[in-house]
Structure 1
Amino acid sequence: MSLFAEITVPVDEFALSSTLQAVPDATVDIERVIATDDDIAPYFWVATHDFAAFESAAESDETVSQLVRLDEFEDAGLYRADWTESVEPVQHAYSELNAGILEASGRREGWEIRFQFDDRSQLQSFCEFCEGAGVSFQLSRLHEIERAEPAEQYGLTPKQEEALLTAWELGFFDTPRSATLGAVADELDISKQSVSDRIRRANRNWIADALVVEPAEVTAD
């Protein structure tokens, strides 16, 4: 039976460790991860007031290479990079266990990562690897998938569900609207670009899951 595991990792033991410490206002939300024969390449959103400082810090960050800015908006940028072997937990989860990252958020205080494991033995192997590698982590939540929860049934991640529910509760979807995108962002304590992206991807995912016969690959955040 597959498992969802939510894990907290100190910033200095995961990706972009020195970058997030050098640029304290930056937050990183991984959108998706692509694994090739040689590399693991994440696509991620960065919210910061200084993209140049973030990119400069990333150049000397041993956990990433080949950083490329793909898109830029008012307060967030979409990047692609390669994770190096320094990011041991992810390398092991993908290369050896075939586990997946459903979503991950990083900031100066640390990373919150949501994994999906095939079963408890796979999770145990991951925990043993982290302990053997000296990677400290905290398992903050664990649950088995016995049946699809309402959000998961429609292809939504917890953050997407939270964004949709908050927007609905504040009146963002009312006609006329009784809340702005900025108000939703303030309630969630994230940038307007981040909440806009979550709502857009949430709508895409549930439409693909509920209405499209052969849905395109859904994305997480």
Structure 2
Amino acid sequence: MGVIVELALPATEFQLGRILAMQEDVKVTLKTMVPLGGRSVPFFQISAGSHEGFEQQVRDHPTVSDLYVVNSHDDETLYGLDWEIDDDTFFDSVIEQNGHLLEASGGSDTWVFQVRFRSHDDLSTFQQSCFDGDIPVDVRKIYNPTRPDAGPWYGLTTPQRETLTYAVEMGYYSLPRGISTEETADEFGISDQAVSERLRRAVETLVTNTLLLTAAEE
């Protein structure tokens, strides 16, 4: 059964962290890494700060061959990066243990990752590889396993996950409520009823694949 680990790593301890290191307070979010022609092309997003200075700094890195804008909205920009991958103990260890990168974000000092492994044994082997390679991985949380067929997001579809995350962040479940279903609907370009149904299904799926599963096993 899978296991999800949240860990922290200094930006200087892996190649992509060194490339994307910022001198200013800018958050970098790694969205995905797509394998193309035997190499991994990272797509990442930054918000606020000086995009021009960031772009020049990344392009000046000796391993970077191209940096391009995928799309831009308000103060957030999504980039793609072509690079020459050096030996990287951290990412190599994740790949060797069939780890799946769920989330990653950071800046000039520290990055935080969420990685899913197929088993606790794979996670232990990954940790040992980092230890042997002197990679100072700080394990912060280990999440309860979910059903093997639930996928990396506890069975949530991308629209369900994005809508539920937005609702929580904007205070939909707070008292008093910080945002309405109508306002949430405007954000995603769907109807008020569709938002309510999406949130209902998301919560049901999340509970089924986490709390109910754990209770049944206990």
Given the superposition, is the C-alpha separation of residues 40 and 78 from structure 1 closer, same or farther in structure 2, using an over 3 Å criterion?
same
- Determine if contact 1:3/1:145 at 8 Å carries over to the other structure: yes
Match of 1:67 in 2: 67
Q: TM-score, normalised by structure 1?
A: 0.68
Match of 1:140 in 2: 140
Given the superposition, is the C-alpha separation of residues 161 and 11 from structure 1 closer, same or farther in structure 2, using an over 3 Å criterion?
farther
Structure 2 residue corresponding to 1:165, chosen from 146, 168, 172? 168
Structure 1 unmatched runs, 5+: 182-195, 198-202, 212-221
- Distance in 2 between the 1:9 and 1:160 partners? 29
Query: Counterpart of 1:91 in structure 2: which amino acid?
Result: D
Match of 1:113 in 2: 113
- Determine if contact 1:31/1:43 at 8 Å carries over to the other structure: yes
- Determine if contact 1:17/1:63 at 8 Å carries over to the other structure: no
Given the superposition, is the C-alpha separation of residues 78 and 62 from structure 1 closer, same or farther in structure 2, using an over 3 Å criterion?
same
Given the superposition, is the C-alpha separation of residues 135 and 62 from structure 1 closer, same or farther in structure 2, using an over 3 Å criterion?
farther
Instruction: State the Cα deviation string for residues 163-183 of structure 1 (Å, max 9, x = none).
Output: 3213214432245x5x9x9xx
- Distance in 1 between the 2:10 and 2:62 partners? 16
Given the superposition, is the C-alpha separation of residues 75 and 90 from structure 1 closer, same or farther in structure 2, using an over 3 Å criterion?
same
Instruction: State the Cα deviation string for residues 81-122 of structure 1 (Å, max 9, x = none).
Output: 14622543123322x222110011112231010000000121
- The alignment partner of 1:4 has SS state of strand
Percent of pairs identical after alignment? 19
Query: Counterpart of 2:26 in structure 1: which amino acid?
Result: A
Structure 2 unmatched runs, 5+: 189-193, 203-218
Larger radius of gyration: 2
- The alignment partner of 2:70 has SS state of strand
Tell me whether 1:27 sits opposite 2:34 in the alignment. Answer: no
Query: Counterpart of 1:17 in structure 2: which amino acid?
Result: R
Mean alpha-carbon deviation: is it higher for 161-170 or for 131-140? 161-170
- Distance in 1 between the 2:65 and 2:26 partners? 18
Tell me whether 1:76 sits opposite 2:79 in the alignment. Answer: no
Q: In the TM superposition, what are the counterparts of 1:1-221 in structure 2 within 5 Å?
A: 1-14=1-14, 15-17=16-18, 19-22=20-23, 24-36=24-36, 38-61=38-61, 64-82=64-82, 84-94=85-95, 96-147=96-147, 152-155=154-157, 161-167=164-170, 168-169=172-173, 170-175=177-182
- The alignment partner of 1:85 has SS state of coil
